[in-house]
Amino acid sequence: MDFNDTKEEAEFRVEARSFLEKHLKPKDANSPRRPSGEDFLKRAKEWQKTKAEGGFAQITWPKEWGGRGGSSMQQVIWNQEESKFDAPTGPFTIGLGMCVPTVIAFGSDEHKKRYVEKALRGEEIWCQLFSEPAAGSDVAGVKTRAIKDGDEWVINGQKVWTTGAHFSDYGIVLTRTDPKAPKHKGLTMFIVDMHQKGVEAKPIHQASGGREFNEVYFTDVRIPDSDRLGEVGDGWKVALVTLMNERLAVGGSPGPDWKEIMEYARDTGSLSDQAFREKLADWYVAAQGYSLTKFRTQTALSRGGTPGPENSIGKIITANQLQDICNSAIEMQDHYGIMNDTDTMPANALFQQSFMWAPGLRIAGGTDEILKNIIAERVLGLPQDVRVDKKVPFDELKQG
């Protein structure tokens, strides 16, 4: 049990930090929480390329794909250090964290040669096309249809909540190839070129006002059979690998945490309120519990473990805590707290902005309810819910 770096870790940390200092500005209170836009995307691509050239992109990946061939603990150290800087990393999280690992696991050698290094160098961005209007928590309920036509497949249907679809070059898309098979059996996964004819991304207007996610429509989109990932009908197996990687990626929240509301309370004179102090203690303990659990997971990974369902606890804690913290900060300001002008409000209206984001965080990447089911079934081994959809042909399932 040691929170301090080993000698080798300390050396790597120094190396990482000096690289970061050379290229980036440290994060400060004015750094945007959820940056977006053309300029940001450009900066992100440049930074990804710089990282790759410096040997800091995907540290654990083998050198042949442009990685460093380093340890998972080095990746942790890099992440810790990078997070202190105003690093534009968002657009690559899903591609490098979820999609490309799926390509590596199920793609052909040609796929790997063609896609992996370009993604790692920031030249191509990937998105994940699973969710649909009628397939949210029930991810396997996808209706987007792929029909074989010679050596090609023809795709028709609609995806939803696709992060970054409008700036992505490629995607992995989960489709239904056999509607007569039971739900989980008739699915197949493909690589899709997002620039081709028939693929259309439309931003979703969110409850928070923003438009970060997309609907993606597929109209007679043709995909060569060679761009299939895994066997026909094995799409669910492929998707599970993607989703397992998602669990490691989700959890953190860009929203204000215990420290920021503590500072806010100190500045506005509420820190002496005993009721607030007790709440603050609760937030701190749970937030620490989440961060420290990530360390435990990293230690397990560094000893050869795999990311398990126990990582689902992260988002349950952080999303709910974010909502609670924002609500408390607003109520602490009384009537004034309803105002949300970023120029005049305390903390740049961060609490108000995040108040509108929090409900989405509790849903994205698995609702609280789905995550608890995952813990109950896969960690504790409790019986599955009674499932009426397990053996029925998909096209005979009741859809409401």
Partner 1 sequence: MNFDFSEDQKFLAGEARKFLNAQCTTAHVREVLNDDDKSHHDGVWNKVVEMGWIGTAIPEEYGGLGLGMLELCVIAEEMGRALAPVPFASTTYFFAEALKAAGSEEQKKDVLEKVVSGEVVGCYAASEGPGNPEPSKLKTTFDGSKLTGTKIPVTDGDIATHAVVLAKEGSGASLVLVALTGEGVSRKKVSTLEPTRSHAEITFDGAPAQRLGKAGEGEDYHNRVLDHAAVLLAFEQLGGADRCLEMATEFAKDRYAFGRPIGGNQAIKHKLADMYVKNQVARSNCYYGAWALSTDASELPEAAASSRLAASEAYWFASKENIQTHGGMGFTWEVDCHLFYRRAKLLAVQAGSPKVWKEKLVSALERKNAA
Q: What residues act catalytically?
A: 246
Largest pairwise CA distance in the chain: 72
What, of a second copy, partner 1, none, does residue 37 touch, CB below 5 to 8 Å by kind? Answer: none
Least distance in angstroms from the C-beta of 249 to a second copy: 33
Task: Pick the stretch among 30-38, 90-98, 240-248, 286-294 that binds partner 1 (CB under 8 A).
Answer: 286-294
Q: Taking CB under 8 A as the rule, does residue 105 contact partner 1? A: no
In the list 79, 156, 293, 348, the residue contacting partner 1 (rule: CB under 8 A) is 293
User: What span, in angstroms and rounded, lies between the C-alpha atoms of 298 and 281?
Assistant: 26
Least distance in angstroms from the C-beta of 237 to partner 1: 19
Least distance in angstroms from the C-beta of 252 to partner 1: 15
Q: Within 10 A of 193 (CB to CB), how many other CB atoms are there?
A: 14
Q: Taking CB under 8 A as the rule, does residue 331 contact partner 1? A: yes
Least distance in angstroms from the C-beta of 261 to a second copy: 16
In the list 234, 336, 348, 350, the residue contacting partner 1 (rule: CB under 8 A) is 336
Which positions from 107 through 166 interact with partner 1, judged by CB under 8 A? 131, 133-134, 136-138, 141, 160-161
- Tokens encoding 128: 């994940």
What, of a second copy, partner 1, none, does residue 313 touch, CB below 5 to 8 Å by kind? Answer: partner 1
Rg (CA), the chain: 22
Sign of CA dihedral 174, 179, 181, 183: positive
Least distance in angstroms from the C-beta of 272 to a second copy: 9
What, of partner 1, a second copy, none, does residue 286 touch, CB below 5 to 8 Å by kind? Answer: partner 1
Q: Taking CB under 8 A as the rule, does residue 277 contact a second copy? A: yes
Which positions from 368 through 397 interact with a second copy, judged by CB under 8 A? 385-386, 388
- The residue behind tokens 């909540």 is 161
User: What span, in angstroms and rounded, lies between the C-alpha atoms of 137 and 24?
Assistant: 38
User: What span, in angstroms and rounded, lies between the C-alpha atoms of 292 and 236?
Assistant: 32
> To 10 degrees, the CA torsion angle through 254, 239, 92, 317?
10
User: What span, in angstroms and rounded, lies between the C-alpha atoms of 381 and 314?
Assistant: 19
Cross-strand partners of 189? 174, 229
DSSP H/E element including 229: strand 228-229
Q: Taking CB under 8 A as the rule, does residue 383 contact partner 1? A: yes
Using CB under 8 A as the binding criterion, the count of chain residues that bind partner 1 stands at: 108
DSSP 124-148: S-EEEE--BTTBSSSGGG---EEEE
In the list 58, 158, 298, 318, the residue contacting partner 1 (rule: CB under 8 A) is 298
Rule CB under 8 A: which residues touch a second copy?
A: 273-275, 277-278, 385-386, 388
